[in-house]
């Protein structure tokens, strides 16, 4: 049986390798990096994603590394008062059959990878960067370049799945639609042991502070011992680089933070002041997916950020990559008589509307979260009057079968 080729071993690629090998399909996953990234920050996963992790036999491993917050609290960044509180614990699990968790991206990746590497149907290669592909009578042949030795090798498989992230080369080979667009928004992220902070800044819940042209998200990871802090701002000087490490004393960050935090309440100011080291992500985006042909054509399909990059304002990028992996594996294993092209097309047909909805909602949130003036007053009033109902999203957390 010809392996299914997966280019890119992030969250989506590794989840797909696991979902397929569990069903008896061999895969060859090829990752550009020398090793799998030990970087990243915290992520939140809703029941739509944790349900799949549970099905893949990862609930015990998840319990070892995730945190299960009780509440989401949304506050006004300027005056500090709470606008709305939403239960994330038992109610959520009872309603949707799986928990809401927060965890370190590295821990999530590790638990997926450990489950994959135990399976003899999985071949994993690193330092292999996707270059190009050609259809053959039997399937597809794909050229990968070893970044260090510069040696090119051709790998044969049944189909190719591009899970190579927001700057996907597979996407360019398939759709040729150029790089994603800059949004002017920058995410500054930091992860630190809670014990390094004064006790009053510790947190066991998910907190979001909304302010004009900025918002901050704070939640615990690693069983509550570490704190993840994300400050997203509309930057004065959008950095050229996509992801880099930065010290609080640097000029860029100083100017950005000064402008963004002006007028913010003490709690927000104090937390930011207490953190020295940040990593910074330039946020890029694409228009929402319009039709299935943007997700799969012939013997190539895209999943995760390669397929549908989204702003992190709904905390669903990794969740959608996990859902993609589930649906693609179901379509692939479903009907033996279907051609590989039909199976990939079925995946795209099943996914395109849902991922487009999540992309659009994430973009809308970027306007609502950062609102100023009248829109901000209307937002705050609605949150206070309608309460958790306004931020209830059963369509999202119930997931896709």
Ligand X SMILES: Cc1cc2nc3c(=O)[nH]c(=O)nc-3n(C[C@H](O)[C@H](O)[C@H](O)COP(=O)(O)OP(=O)(O)OC[C@H]3O[C@@H](n4cnc5c(N)ncnc54)[C@H](O)[C@@H]3O)c2cc1C
Binding ligand X (rule: CB under 6 A), the pick from 48, 67, 129, 235 is: 129
Angle subtended at Cα 16 by Cα 333 and Cα 363, rounded to the nearest 5 degrees: 115
Mask for 359-398, x = binds ligand X (CB under 6 A): ----------------------------------------
Interacting residues of 189 by C-beta distance below 8 A, sequence separation 6+ = 41, 42, 228, 229, 230, 231, 278, 279, 280, 281
Q: What is the DSSP string of 294-306?
A: GTEETTEEE-HHH
CA atoms within 13 Å, Cβ hemisphere of 205: 14
Q: Please report which residue ranges of 188-265 form alpha helices under DSSP H.
A: 251-261
CB of 33 to ligand X, least distance (A): 5
Binding ligand X (rule: CB under 6 A), the pick from 74, 84, 142, 318 is: 318
Stretch that binds ligand X, among 60-68, 175-183, 191-199, 305-313 (CB under 6 A): 305-313
Binding ligand X (rule: CB under 6 A), the pick from 107, 305, 323, 380 is: 305
SS3 state of residue 346 = helix
Using CB under 6 A as the binding rule, whether residue 44 contacts ligand X is answered as yes
3-state helix, strand, coil in the chain (%, to 5): 40, 30, 30
Q: Pick between residue 172 and residue 269 the one whose CB is nearest to ligand X.
A: 172
Q: Which residues pair with 332 in a beta bridge?
A: none
Q: Pick between residue 165 and residue 380 the one whose CB is nearest to ligand X.
A: 165
Query: What gap in Å lies between CA 183 and CA 181, rounded to an integer?
Result: 6
Binding ligand X (rule: CB under 6 A), the pick from 61, 72, 169, 328 is: 169
Using CB under 6 A as the binding rule, whether residue 33 contacts ligand X is answered as yes
Stretch that binds ligand X, among 31-39, 78-86, 178-186, 251-259 (CB under 6 A): 31-39
Q: Where in 265-294 is the site for ligand X (CB under 6 A)? A: 281
SS3 state of residue 4 = strand
CB of 304 to ligand X, least distance (A): 2
Binding ligand X (rule: CB under 6 A), the pick from 272, 321, 358, 371 is: 321
Stretch that binds ligand X, among 37-45, 80-88, 152-160, 288-296 (CB under 6 A): 37-45
Query: What gap in Å lies between CA 350 and CA 167, rounded to an integer?
Result: 24
Mask for 212-241, x = binds ligand X (CB under 6 A): ------------------x-----------
Q: Where in 2-21 is the site for ligand X (CB under 6 A)? A: 7-13
Residue 179 has a CB neighbour count (10 Å cut-off) of: 12
Using CB under 6 A as the binding rule, whether residue 323 contacts ligand X is answered as no
Question: What is the size of the binding site for ligand X (CB under 6 A)?
Answer: 35
Closest among 185, 264, 278, 276 to 232, alpha carbons compared: 185
Binding ligand X (rule: CB under 6 A), the pick from 3, 99, 139, 165 is: 165
Query: What gap in Å lies between CA 178 and CA 319, rounded to an integer?
Result: 25
Taking the CA atoms of 260, 262, 265 and 267 in sequence, report the sign of the dihedral they define: positive
Q: Residue 20's Cα: distance from chain center in Å?
A: 20
Stretch that binds ligand X, among 160-168, 178-186, 197-205, 353-361 (CB under 6 A): 160-168
Which residue ranges make up the site for ligand X (CB under 6 A)?
7-13, 30-33, 37, 43-45, 129-130, 163-165, 169, 187, 189, 230, 281, 304-306, 312, 315-319, 321
């Amino acid at each position: 049986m010809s392996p299914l080729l997966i280019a890119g071993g992030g969250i989506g690629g590794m989840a797909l390798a696991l979902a397929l090998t569990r069903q008896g399909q061999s895969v060859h996953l090829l990752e550009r990096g020398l090793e799998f990234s030990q970087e990243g920050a915290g992520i939140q996963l809703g029941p739509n994603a944790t349900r799949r992790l549970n099905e893949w036999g990862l609930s015990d491993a998840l319990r070892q590394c995730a945190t299960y917050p009780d509440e989401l609290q949304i506050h006004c960044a300027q005056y500090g008062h709470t606008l709305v509180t939403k239960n994330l614990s038992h109610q959520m699990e009872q309603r949707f059959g799986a928990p809401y968790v927060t965890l370190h991206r590295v821990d999530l990746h590790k638990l997926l990878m450990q489950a994959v590497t135990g399976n003899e149907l999985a071949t994993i290669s690193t330092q292999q960067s996707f270059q190009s592909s050609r259809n053959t009578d039997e399937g597809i042949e794909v050229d990968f370049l070893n970044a260090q030795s510069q040696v090119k090798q051709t790998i044969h498989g049944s189909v190719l799945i591009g899970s190579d992230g927001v700057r996907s080369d597979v996407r360019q080979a398939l759709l040729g639609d150029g790089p994603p667009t800059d949004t002017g928004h920058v995410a500054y992220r930091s992860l630190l042991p809670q014990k390094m902070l004064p006790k009053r800044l510790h947190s066991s819940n998910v907190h979001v502070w909304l302010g004009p042209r900025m918002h901050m998200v704070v939640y615990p990871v690693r069983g509550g011992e570490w704190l993840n802090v994300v400050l997203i701002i509309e930057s004065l000087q959008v950095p050229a680089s996509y992801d880099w490490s930065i010290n609080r004393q640097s000029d860029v960050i100083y100017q950005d933070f000064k402008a963004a935090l002006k007028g913010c309440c003490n709690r927000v100011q104090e937390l930011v002041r207490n953190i020295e080291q940040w990593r910074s992500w330039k946020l890029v985006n694409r228009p929402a997916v319009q039709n299935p042909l943007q997700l799969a054509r012939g013997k190539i399909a895209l999943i995760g950020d390669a397929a549908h990059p989204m702003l992190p304002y709904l905390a669903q990028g990794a969740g959608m990559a996990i859902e993609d992996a589930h649906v693609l594996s179901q379509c692939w294993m479903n009907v033996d008589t279907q051609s590989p092209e039909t199976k990939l097309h079925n995946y795209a047909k099943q996914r395109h509307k849902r991922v487009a909805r999540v992309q659009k909602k994430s973009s809308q949130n970027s306007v609502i979260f950062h609102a100023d003036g009248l829109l901000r007053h209307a937002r705050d009033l609605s949150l206070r009057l309608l309460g958790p109902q306004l931020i209830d999203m059963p369509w999202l957390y119930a997931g896709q079968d």
